[in-house]
Amino acid sequence: MAVKALACELPATTGLPLSRFSRNDLVAEVVSRGLVAQISGTTLWRWLNQDAIRPWHHRSWIFPRDPDFEFKAGRVLDLYQGVWEGEPLGPDEFVICADEKTSIQARIRLHPSQPPGPGQPMRVEFQYDRGGALAYLAGWDVHRGKVFGRCDHTTGIAAFDALVDSVMAQKPSQSSKWVFLITDNGSSHRGQKSVQRLQSRYKNLVVVHLPVHASWLNQVEIYFSIVQRKVLTPNDFTSLAEVAQRLYEFESYYEEIAHPFEWKFTRQDLKQLLAKLDPH
Protein backbone atom coordinates (compact mmCIF):
# COMPACT_ATOMS: atom_id res chain seq x y z
CA MET A 1 0.00 0.00 0.00
CA ALA A 2 2.85 2.40 0.81
CA VAL A 3 4.52 1.68 -2.54
CA LYS A 4 1.25 2.33 -4.40
CA ALA A 5 0.73 5.55 -2.44
CA LEU A 6 4.22 6.73 -3.40
CA ALA A 7 3.61 5.90 -7.07
CA CYS A 8 0.49 8.09 -6.96
CA GLU A 9 2.40 11.16 -5.74
CA LEU A 10 3.90 13.82 -7.99
CA PRO A 11 7.69 13.42 -7.76
CA ALA A 12 8.12 17.17 -7.21
CA THR A 13 6.22 16.91 -3.91
CA THR A 14 8.67 14.29 -2.67
CA GLY A 15 11.70 16.53 -3.19
CA LEU A 16 13.02 14.49 -6.14
CA PRO A 17 14.18 16.39 -9.26
CA LEU A 18 11.89 14.36 -11.51
CA SER A 19 8.83 15.16 -13.59
CA ARG A 20 7.50 11.60 -13.41
CA PHE A 21 8.51 8.28 -11.91
CA SER A 22 9.97 5.42 -13.91
CA ARG A 23 9.92 1.91 -12.55
CA ASN A 24 13.62 2.09 -11.65
CA ASP A 25 13.09 5.44 -9.93
CA LEU A 26 10.39 3.91 -7.75
CA VAL A 27 12.54 0.90 -6.92
CA ALA A 28 15.35 3.16 -5.75
CA GLU A 29 13.00 5.42 -3.76
CA VAL A 30 11.12 2.70 -1.89
CA VAL A 31 14.44 1.09 -0.89
CA SER A 32 15.94 4.42 0.21
CA ARG A 33 12.83 5.12 2.32
CA GLY A 34 13.17 1.76 4.01
CA LEU A 35 9.76 0.56 2.86
CA VAL A 36 11.44 -2.67 1.74
CA ALA A 37 14.95 -4.05 2.13
CA GLN A 38 15.06 -4.88 -1.57
CA ILE A 39 12.62 -5.35 -4.42
CA SER A 40 12.83 -6.19 -8.09
CA GLY A 41 11.37 -4.01 -10.80
CA THR A 42 9.15 -6.89 -11.89
CA THR A 43 7.62 -7.28 -8.44
CA LEU A 44 7.02 -3.55 -8.12
CA TRP A 45 5.43 -3.44 -11.57
CA ARG A 46 3.16 -6.39 -10.64
CA TRP A 47 1.95 -4.57 -7.51
CA LEU A 48 1.17 -1.40 -9.46
CA ASN A 49 -0.42 -3.33 -12.30
CA GLN A 50 -3.02 -4.73 -9.91
CA ASP A 51 -4.54 -1.23 -9.72
CA ALA A 52 -3.56 -0.12 -13.25
CA ILE A 53 -1.10 2.44 -11.81
CA ARG A 54 1.36 3.61 -14.47
CA PRO A 55 3.17 6.69 -13.13
CA TRP A 56 5.55 6.75 -16.11
CA HIS A 57 2.59 7.61 -18.38
CA HIS A 58 1.05 11.04 -18.67
CA ARG A 59 -1.66 12.76 -20.69
CA SER A 60 -2.59 16.38 -21.28
CA TRP A 61 -6.02 17.69 -20.36
CA ILE A 62 -7.89 20.93 -19.87
CA PHE A 63 -10.95 21.97 -17.92
CA PRO A 64 -14.05 23.25 -19.76
CA ARG A 65 -13.86 26.96 -19.00
CA ASP A 66 -16.75 28.25 -21.07
CA PRO A 67 -19.64 29.11 -18.72
CA ASP A 68 -22.07 28.03 -21.48
CA PHE A 69 -20.15 24.87 -22.33
CA GLU A 70 -23.08 22.47 -21.97
CA PHE A 71 -25.47 24.66 -23.97
CA LYS A 72 -23.05 25.32 -26.84
CA ALA A 73 -21.79 21.75 -27.03
CA GLY A 74 -25.31 20.35 -26.68
CA ARG A 75 -26.73 22.11 -29.71
CA VAL A 76 -23.79 20.89 -31.82
CA LEU A 77 -24.42 17.33 -30.65
CA ASP A 78 -28.09 17.83 -31.54
CA LEU A 79 -27.11 18.87 -35.07
CA TYR A 80 -25.05 15.71 -35.43
CA GLN A 81 -28.23 13.81 -34.55
CA GLY A 82 -30.18 15.81 -37.13
CA VAL A 83 -32.01 18.09 -34.67
CA TRP A 84 -32.06 21.88 -34.24
CA GLU A 85 -33.94 23.59 -31.42
CA GLY A 86 -35.98 20.46 -30.81
CA GLU A 87 -37.07 20.02 -34.44
CA PRO A 88 -35.67 17.46 -36.90
CA LEU A 89 -33.71 18.83 -39.82
CA GLY A 90 -35.42 18.78 -43.18
CA PRO A 91 -34.01 17.26 -46.39
CA ASP A 92 -32.88 20.72 -47.53
CA GLU A 93 -30.96 21.56 -44.32
CA PHE A 94 -27.28 20.69 -44.01
CA VAL A 95 -24.59 20.61 -41.33
CA ILE A 96 -21.00 21.58 -42.23
CA CYS A 97 -18.01 21.42 -39.86
CA ALA A 98 -15.16 23.75 -40.85
CA ASP A 99 -11.65 24.57 -39.65
CA GLU A 100 -8.04 25.12 -40.74
CA LYS A 101 -5.03 22.81 -40.66
CA THR A 102 -2.10 25.19 -40.45
CA SER A 103 1.61 25.12 -41.33
CA ILE A 104 1.72 22.08 -43.60
CA GLN A 105 5.34 21.93 -44.74
CA ALA A 106 6.83 20.68 -47.96
CA ARG A 107 9.86 18.72 -46.82
CA ILE A 108 12.12 18.09 -49.79
CA ARG A 109 14.21 15.06 -48.84
CA LEU A 110 17.91 15.12 -49.74
CA HIS A 111 17.71 11.54 -50.98
CA PRO A 112 14.75 9.79 -52.69
CA SER A 113 12.63 7.65 -50.40
CA GLN A 114 13.18 3.91 -50.73
CA PRO A 115 10.18 1.56 -51.16
CA PRO A 116 9.54 -1.28 -48.72
CA GLY A 117 10.71 -4.83 -49.36
CA PRO A 118 10.81 -8.22 -47.64
CA GLY A 119 11.84 -7.53 -44.05
CA GLN A 120 12.53 -3.91 -44.96
CA PRO A 121 10.20 -0.98 -44.15
CA MET A 122 9.92 2.09 -46.34
CA ARG A 123 12.94 4.32 -45.73
CA VAL A 124 12.70 8.12 -45.72
CA GLU A 125 15.79 10.34 -45.69
CA PHE A 126 16.05 12.18 -42.36
CA GLN A 127 17.50 15.41 -43.77
CA TYR A 128 15.43 17.73 -45.92
CA ASP A 129 15.19 21.22 -47.36
CA ARG A 130 12.22 23.38 -46.42
CA GLY A 131 9.98 24.09 -49.38
CA GLY A 132 7.60 26.43 -47.59
CA ALA A 133 4.29 25.83 -45.83
CA LEU A 134 0.61 26.27 -46.56
CA ALA A 135 -2.72 26.10 -44.78
CA TYR A 136 -5.43 23.61 -45.65
CA LEU A 137 -8.98 24.72 -44.93
CA ALA A 138 -11.81 22.24 -45.15
CA GLY A 139 -15.50 21.81 -44.56
CA TRP A 140 -17.00 18.40 -43.80
CA ASP A 141 -20.65 17.67 -44.61
CA VAL A 142 -21.67 15.73 -41.52
CA HIS A 143 -24.60 13.80 -42.99
CA ARG A 144 -23.39 13.26 -46.56
CA GLY A 145 -19.67 12.63 -46.11
CA LYS A 146 -18.64 15.33 -48.60
CA VAL A 147 -15.46 17.43 -48.38
CA PHE A 148 -15.01 21.08 -49.34
CA GLY A 149 -11.31 21.98 -49.25
CA ARG A 150 -8.95 24.71 -50.33
CA CYS A 151 -5.28 25.51 -49.86
CA ASP A 152 -3.98 28.96 -49.02
CA HIS A 153 -0.64 30.47 -48.15
CA THR A 154 -1.98 31.69 -44.82
CA THR A 155 -4.96 31.56 -42.53
CA GLY A 156 -7.14 34.51 -41.59
CA ILE A 157 -10.51 36.06 -42.26
CA ALA A 158 -10.06 36.24 -46.04
CA ALA A 159 -8.97 32.60 -46.31
CA PHE A 160 -11.79 31.33 -44.09
CA ASP A 161 -14.41 33.44 -45.88
CA ALA A 162 -13.16 32.02 -49.18
CA LEU A 163 -13.78 28.51 -47.82
CA VAL A 164 -17.33 29.47 -46.81
CA ASP A 165 -17.84 30.99 -50.28
CA SER A 166 -16.81 27.72 -51.92
CA VAL A 167 -19.20 25.77 -49.69
CA MET A 168 -22.14 28.08 -50.28
CA ALA A 169 -21.54 28.33 -54.04
CA GLN A 170 -22.02 24.62 -54.58
CA LYS A 171 -25.16 22.54 -54.60
CA PRO A 172 -27.02 21.69 -52.47
CA SER A 173 -25.86 24.48 -50.10
CA GLN A 174 -26.59 27.07 -52.76
CA SER A 175 -30.32 26.33 -52.77
CA SER A 176 -30.78 24.88 -49.27
CA LYS A 177 -33.14 26.23 -46.65
CA TRP A 178 -30.46 26.34 -43.95
CA VAL A 179 -26.75 25.53 -43.77
CA PHE A 180 -25.47 25.14 -40.21
CA LEU A 181 -21.76 25.96 -40.12
CA ILE A 182 -20.05 24.49 -37.04
CA THR A 183 -16.70 26.00 -36.18
CA ASP A 184 -14.43 26.59 -33.21
CA ASN A 185 -13.12 29.87 -31.82
CA GLY A 186 -10.11 30.41 -34.04
CA SER A 187 -9.08 34.02 -34.58
CA SER A 188 -10.54 34.19 -38.10
CA HIS A 189 -14.03 33.02 -37.17
CA ARG A 190 -14.74 33.64 -33.51
CA GLY A 191 -17.23 35.86 -31.75
CA GLN A 192 -20.39 37.63 -32.76
CA LYS A 193 -18.57 39.68 -35.40
CA SER A 194 -17.86 36.56 -37.44
CA VAL A 195 -21.51 35.53 -37.13
CA GLN A 196 -22.66 38.91 -38.41
CA ARG A 197 -20.05 38.96 -41.18
CA LEU A 198 -20.90 35.55 -42.58
CA GLN A 199 -24.64 35.58 -42.06
CA SER A 200 -24.94 38.99 -43.72
CA ARG A 201 -23.43 37.46 -46.86
CA TYR A 202 -25.62 34.35 -46.85
CA LYS A 203 -29.17 34.58 -45.55
CA ASN A 204 -29.50 30.79 -45.30
CA LEU A 205 -26.33 30.37 -43.22
CA VAL A 206 -26.36 29.76 -39.45
CA VAL A 207 -22.95 29.99 -37.75
CA VAL A 208 -22.74 27.72 -34.69
CA HIS A 209 -19.72 28.15 -32.45
CA LEU A 210 -18.37 25.35 -30.30
CA PRO A 211 -17.45 26.16 -26.70
CA VAL A 212 -13.89 27.34 -26.07
CA HIS A 213 -11.43 24.41 -26.01
CA ALA A 214 -13.89 21.99 -27.62
CA SER A 215 -12.32 21.35 -31.02
CA TRP A 216 -12.59 17.64 -30.16
CA LEU A 217 -16.31 18.02 -30.88
CA ASN A 218 -15.63 19.26 -34.42
CA GLN A 219 -16.01 16.41 -36.89
CA VAL A 220 -13.72 18.02 -39.46
CA GLU A 221 -10.85 17.26 -37.06
CA ILE A 222 -11.48 13.57 -37.76
CA TYR A 223 -11.04 14.25 -41.46
CA PHE A 224 -7.86 16.20 -40.75
CA SER A 225 -6.49 13.24 -38.78
CA ILE A 226 -7.14 11.02 -41.82
CA VAL A 227 -5.33 13.53 -44.05
CA GLN A 228 -2.38 13.57 -41.63
CA ARG A 229 -2.06 9.78 -41.65
CA LYS A 230 -2.76 9.08 -45.32
CA VAL A 231 -1.37 12.14 -47.12
CA LEU A 232 1.15 13.98 -44.97
CA THR A 233 2.98 11.14 -43.18
CA PRO A 234 5.74 10.66 -44.07
CA ASN A 235 6.17 14.19 -45.36
CA ASP A 236 8.09 13.73 -48.63
CA PHE A 237 7.32 16.26 -51.36
CA THR A 238 9.28 17.97 -54.13
CA SER A 239 7.49 21.32 -53.78
CA LEU A 240 4.68 23.16 -52.07
CA ALA A 241 2.63 22.87 -55.26
CA GLU A 242 2.85 19.08 -54.95
CA VAL A 243 1.48 19.26 -51.40
CA ALA A 244 -1.56 21.21 -52.62
CA GLN A 245 -2.07 18.88 -55.58
CA ARG A 246 -1.91 15.81 -53.34
CA LEU A 247 -4.48 17.32 -50.95
CA TYR A 248 -6.91 18.16 -53.74
CA GLU A 249 -6.51 14.74 -55.33
CA PHE A 250 -7.07 13.08 -51.97
CA GLU A 251 -10.38 14.93 -51.57
CA SER A 252 -11.65 13.32 -54.78
CA TYR A 253 -10.20 9.94 -53.84
CA TYR A 254 -11.66 10.03 -50.32
CA GLU A 255 -15.14 11.11 -51.40
CA GLU A 256 -15.45 7.92 -53.44
CA ILE A 257 -15.07 5.78 -50.32
CA ALA A 258 -16.22 8.20 -47.61
CA HIS A 259 -19.35 7.90 -45.53
CA PRO A 260 -20.60 9.95 -42.58
CA PHE A 261 -18.62 9.35 -39.41
CA GLU A 262 -20.33 7.11 -36.86
CA TRP A 263 -20.61 9.76 -34.16
CA LYS A 264 -21.62 8.20 -30.83
CA PHE A 265 -21.01 11.00 -28.31
CA THR A 266 -24.45 12.33 -27.32
CA ARG A 267 -25.95 14.90 -24.95
CA GLN A 268 -26.23 12.20 -22.30
CA ASP A 269 -22.51 11.40 -22.65
CA LEU A 270 -21.79 15.11 -22.31
CA LYS A 271 -23.78 15.34 -19.08
CA GLN A 272 -21.91 12.35 -17.66
CA LEU A 273 -18.54 13.85 -18.62
CA LEU A 274 -19.33 17.23 -17.05
CA ALA A 275 -20.60 15.51 -13.89
CA LYS A 276 -17.34 13.56 -13.72
CA LEU A 277 -15.28 16.75 -14.05
CA ASP A 278 -17.38 18.79 -11.65
CA PRO A 279 -15.70 17.59 -8.40
CA HIS A 280 -12.34 18.74 -9.79
The CATH number that applies at residue 163 is: 3.30.420.10
Q: State the Cα angle at 61 between 56 and 64, rounded to 5°.
A: 160
Please give the pLDDT value at position 45.
96
Same domain, 142 and 179: yes
Number of domains in the chain: 2
Please give the pLDDT value at position 197.
96
Domain membership of residue 62 (yes or no) is: no
Domain membership of residue 279 (yes or no) is: no
Domain membership of residue 278 (yes or no) is: no
What residues have CB less than 8 Å from 149, skipping those under 6 apart? 136, 137, 138, 139, 247, 248, 251
Please give the pLDDT value at position 63.
81
Same domain, 213 and 256: yes
Please give the pLDDT value at position 280.
78
Same domain, 42 and 133: no
Same domain, 39 and 178: no
- The burial class, CB within 10 Å (0-12 / 13-18 / 19+), for 1 is exposed
Same domain, 17 and 138: no
Same domain, 263 and 235: yes
| CB under 8 A, 24+ apart: contacts of 80-89 | 80/142, 80/219, 80/263, 81/266, 82/143, 84/178, 84/180, 89/178
Quote the CA–CA distance of 63 and 20 in Å, as a whole number: 22
Same domain, 31 and 129: no
Helix (H, G, I), strand (E, B) or coil at 145: coil
Same domain, 24 and 132: no
Quote the CA–CA distance of 175 and 178 in Å, as a whole number: 9
Please give the pLDDT value at position 183.
97
Same domain, 228 and 98: yes
Same domain, 79 and 43: no
Please give the pLDDT value at position 171.
78
Same domain, 17 and 74: no
Provide the domain limits for residue 14. Answer: 2-49
In this structure, the dihedral spanned by the alpha carbons of residues 99, 222, 262 and 77, taken in order and rounded to 10 degrees, is -40
Q: DSSP code of 210?
A: P
Please give the pLDDT value at position 62.
82
Domain membership of residue 55 (yes or no) is: no
Quote the CA–CA distance of 141 and 56 in Å, as a whole number: 40
Same domain, 214 and 148: yes
Domain membership of residue 205 (yes or no) is: yes
Domain membership of residue 90 (yes or no) is: yes
Per-residue pLDDT of the chain in tens (280 residues, 90 and over written 9) = 999 999 999 999 989 999 999 999 999 999 999 999 999 999 999 999 999 999 999 998 888 889 999 999 999 999 999 999 999 999 999 999 999 999 999 999 999 999 999 999 999 999 999 999 999 999 999 999 999 999 999 999 999 999 999 999 987 777 889 999 999 999 999 999 999 999 999 999 999 999 999 999 999 999 999 999 999 999 999 999 999 999 999 999 999 999 999 999 999 999 999 999 888 7
